[in-house]
Amino acid sequence: MTSALSAVDVIRVKRDGGELTDEQIDWVVDAYNAGAVAEEQMAALAMAILLNGMTARETGRWTRAIVRSGERLDLTEVDRPTVDKHSTGGVGDKITLPLAPLVATCGAAVPQLSGRGLGHTGGTLDKLESIPGWRARLTTAEIVAQLNSVGAVVCAPTEGLAPADRKLYALRDVTGTVESIPLIAGSIMGKKVAEGADGLVLDVKVGSGAFMKNEDRARELAATLVSIGESHGMAVSALLTDMSTPLGATVGNALEVAEAVDVLRGGGPADVVELTVALATEMLRLAGIDPTGATDPAAVLSSGAAYETWCRMIRAQGGDPEAPLPTAAHTRTVTAAEDGVLTAVDAYQVGMAAWRLGAGRARKEDAVRFGAGVRLLARPGDRVRRGDPLFELSTDTPEAFPGAVAELASAVRTGETAVEAHPLVLDVVRGG
């Protein structure tokens, strides 16, 4: 049957600042997923959406069309309340690694379908694949079984989940349309609604190392995501969190896994612990679990009890949690150029340095170097003298050192006195 709709007509409506009908949105997403709308046509529509925006109704319908493009994960056989977390991406953002087993230890089930890194931000699957034997691909049956036996699973999305988004995500990345809030919201919530969890906490990053540099734009995105989730019957809230400085003391896949394990054993950097506990508390609230007493996430984390859940989670996916993690063949220390107090360590520049060392990828098909990355030896507020160590760089390709060192030279600022620190959690956005 030939449709009365055409891609050109849909593009023209949005190009001219009009509002797409439900029928137009459903048709163009379905037709693009089926190959009936050409890549260049969808690229033109994506650019028109970037420039002219979408109403809340359009964004919600776009998300619904993405969900309908594939299967939905059936979690009805999971014997605990299900709640997930999504981060918009940052530098040193290893929070999923301690968070999923922590929330599971407190009584909820966490179906965390994650992705890989691209550019200066890391990917959760890349970090976990540095663990010998660990596998990212699971069937739906395996996901449900692991949620019942362990309480947490971190894995790649199943092949049938929101396939239209996979095509759109790749297209947006190469057409300069990544920044569109309606398209970001549709991408995130299309996958999360299809994932089937009862609740979702969003970690919307703000700052130089985040996708959203501006707090007002981040707040708009958070409100949009929460509204879409609620319209699909999910319990949703969003934390706006600072990403001007890298999270923790490490940036790089195996380095971040080791740091996450320290946190799970009751130690680790204070900022990683703080954000893990804040997100866990919100997730438990959405799951209907009282985050006090025996299920107080701060107490559970400091006790080391969540580490046992981590080990079970890793073993369930073929990994060896006790195996040595990969290390890079070469290291170099970067030192302070002058005396003073560190007033800033720019997250974006540190992320770019780690990327240059091999911790990230320029294209989706590129391999990452698991041992590559940056260790922060000083933090904002620390007083340093010329020659004091600031960073330790790790790589298997020593020719990458000059580029990484150049990135870090512009990452650090010093002054006579410390500047007031940003709060890590800037705000919480909840629905009506």
Dist CA 345 CA 355 (whole Å)? 16
Exactly one of 61, 85, 172, 192 is catalytic; name it: 172
Exactly one of 14, 116, 191, 219 is catalytic; name it: 191
Whether 57 is catalytic:
no
Exactly one of 165, 242, 262, 296 is catalytic; name it: 165
Exactly one of 14, 61, 64, 86 is catalytic; name it: 86
Tokens of 376: 């922060």
Whether 120 is catalytic:
no
Tokens of 31: 């037709």
Whether 172 is catalytic:
yes
Backbone angles phi, psi at 345, to 5 degrees: -130, 105
Exposed, middle or buried, 270 (CB in 10 Å: 0-12/13-18/19+)? exposed
Exactly one of 130, 187, 227, 244 is catalytic; name it: 187
| Crossing angle between the packed helical segments 305-316 and 96-105, to the nearest 10 degrees | 110
Whether 356 is catalytic:
no
Whether 87 is catalytic:
no
Dist CA 143 CA 99 (whole Å)? 18
Dist CA 29 CA 36 (whole Å)? 10
Catalytic residues: 86, 165, 172, 187, 191
